[in-house]
Amino acid sequence: MLRDLPVVKGKISDEDLKRGAFILIDKPLGWTSFDVVSRIRSVLRKRFDRKNIKVGHGGTLDPLATGLLIVAVGPATKKLASIQADDKEYEGIIRLGAVTPSYDLETEPQDFKPVDHLTEEAIRQAMQSMEGEQEQLPPVYSAVRKGGERLYEKARRGEEVKEIKARKIRVFKFEPLRIHPPELEFKAHVSKGTYIRTLAHDLGQKLGCGAYLASLRRTRSGDFHIGDAQSMDEWFQQNS
């Protein structure tokens, strides 16, 4: 069981490394999930003077996203597959009236369209219609591998990416928190492997105006919540 292992908010001990532990990090904007893991591993290896300390994370967050990143150390890394399979919750902002190739702000908005005609009811209904089990195509700008290479590597070189395989996902809840076009604040509860960027893009297609993800924050993963997480700065101060 996951809860047999401690969630450490503070200084990691030698005992934590031996039995395994989780660290809940509030991933900062601009960092990759690998950046977080790499920095934590480096600090722990230096502090304990060991090269074989295992560190991993329980589900990738895009560099432009913030929020809950579950980091496992020591034997807890064996539990990561189970954590990655958990359902997750997010909050964020979708911008209506344009699209981007990456479905977020990694690339420039284009194909601008008016949104003044959109009603709150139309937006709510469109979001609700996207709930349930479905097949979802990952974005071209994603870490999905094809031919031994990640899709975003091909996309950034301007290469055309064909025959992306759809994934079976489930959207448990996709609802607005505040509607003030062109911005839409939302909350999403989804299964593993769901791309919120794709939800944003597909919502824009349903509404006929285009849309992209302007910001994203993971608030929950399984039994773990963002309220229990700490910033990278806090973690470094306690463990360096």
Q: From the first residue on, what is the mean pLDDT of each consecutive set of 10 residues in the chain (240 residues)?
A: 77 94 97 96 94 93 95 95 95 98 93 96 98 90 58 57 79 98 98 95 98 98 96 95
Which DSSP state fits 43? H
Name the residue among 207, 216, 151, 219 with its Cα closest to residue 182: 207
Say yes or no: 78 and 111 in one domain: no
Say yes or no: 183 and 207 in one domain: yes
Is 26 a known active-site residue?
Answer: no
Location of structure tokens 């229990």? 228
Say yes or no: 202 and 233 in one domain: no
Say yes or no: 99 and 34 in one domain: no
Say yes or no: 21 and 93 in one domain: no
Residue-level pLDDT at 143: 59
Say yes or no: 210 and 99 in one domain: yes
The CA-CA-CA angle for residues 160, 94, 128, to 5°, reads: 100
For residue 27, give its domain range.
2-85+223-239
Say yes or no: 217 and 229 in one domain: no
Say yes or no: 141 and 235 in one domain: no
Quick: pLDDT tens for 108-132. Answer: 999 999 999 999 999 999 999 999 9
As beta bridge partners, residue 179 has 184
The CA-CA-CA angle for residues 107, 64, 102, to 5°, reads: 30
Say yes or no: 95 and 210 in one domain: yes
Domain count, the chain: 2
What's 145's domain CATH number?
3.30.2350.10
Say yes or no: 207 and 228 in one domain: no
Q: What backbone torsions phi and psi does residue 203 show, to the nearest 5 degrees?
A: -65, -40
Say yes or no: 170 and 216 in one domain: yes
Catalytic residue, candidates 62, 87, 111, 223 = 62
**DSSP secondary structure letters along 171-208:** EEEEEEEEEETTEEEEEEEE-TT--HHHHHHHHHHHHT
Say yes or no: 119 and 17 in one domain: no
